[in-house]
A and B are shown apart, each in its own frame.
Chain A
Amino acid sequence: GAVVSQHPSWVICKSGTSVKIECRSLDFQATTMFWYRQFPKQSLMLMATSNEGSKATYEQGVEKDKFLINHASLTLSTLTVTSAHPEDSSFYICSARPGTGGGFTEAFFGQGTRLTVV
């Protein structure tokens, strides 16, 4: 299957600093990538949909100024957690869909990034 790579796998940062997480589709192009957050023993929650060359679409309740998303190419999307606080500590996962059209296509997930804010 297609490969989606996330980096870093884990990161520890001080409160108030910013952290950037990268999501790359290694062997396919993805117009659309998705960012999820997962707290322990809970479902993945969609944070935002990242569209190449345009602004991301954020889910209700997600602060767009805090979680900055950039999708500059068909293979790379980044999520920057700005001024991180301990409550932002979570598991962040991206996914990408091959192709540029809509409809039913498989979504491939990255391995996730464990963020711990101290």
Chain B
Amino acid sequence: KNQVEQSPQSLIILEGKNCTLQCNYTVSPFSNLRWYKQDTGRGPVSLTIMTFSENTKSNGRYTATLDADTKQSSLHITASQLSDSASYICVVALTGTASKLTFGTGTRLQVTL
């Protein structure tokens, strides 16, 4: 069964600190892996997309890594800001059918003062 598991489920950090979110997947055949940020009551917004051959990709303070051999990905957030408080969702797409996205349950991040 194709699954995407994320950890931790929730996380609270102080403003300015760094954090790393984890994603493990069993989706096969793999096409690409995406990280999305979803604010409460809003639709997901894309942060990064990585294909099989990419190991890392950055978008400002967000850096995603991918290990296709171990089927693991991480999202590192540097110098967190209050506006980073949101759910971060790992999404894996199947090869050959870009419409089939498997969503993780997300990590709820709260950045506090």
Chain A: residues with CB nearer than 8 A to chain B?
1, 4, 6, 32, 34, 41-46, 49, 91, 93, 95, 97, 102-112, 114
Provide a sorted-by-A list of 14 A–B residue pairs whose CB atoms are within 8 angstroms: A6-B43, A43-B103, A44-B89, A93-B44, A95-B43, A97-B99, A102-B97, A102-B98, A106-B46, A107-B98, A108-B46, A109-B44, A109-B45, A110-B43
Residues from chain B with a CB closer than 8 A to the CB of A32 are: 99
Nearest A residue to B95, CB-CB: A104
A80 CB to nearest chain B CB (Å): 19
Question: Does B73 lie at the interface of the complex (its beta carbon under 8 Å from any beta carbon of A)?
Answer: no
Nearest 9 Cβ contacts at the A-B interface: A109-B43, A43-B103, A112-B43, A111-B43, A44-B103, A109-B44, A43-B105, A93-B43, A110-B43
Interface residues on B, range: 20 to 34
Shortest distance in angstroms between B7's beta carbon and chain A's nearest beta carbon?
Answer: 14
In this assembly, does B1 line the interface, its C-beta being within 8 Å of a C-beta of chain A? no
CB distance from A70 to the nearest CB of B (A): 18
* Bound form: Cα–Cα A112–B101 in Å: 17
| Residues 48 to 93 of chain B near chain A (Cβ within 8 Å) | 49, 51, 89, 93
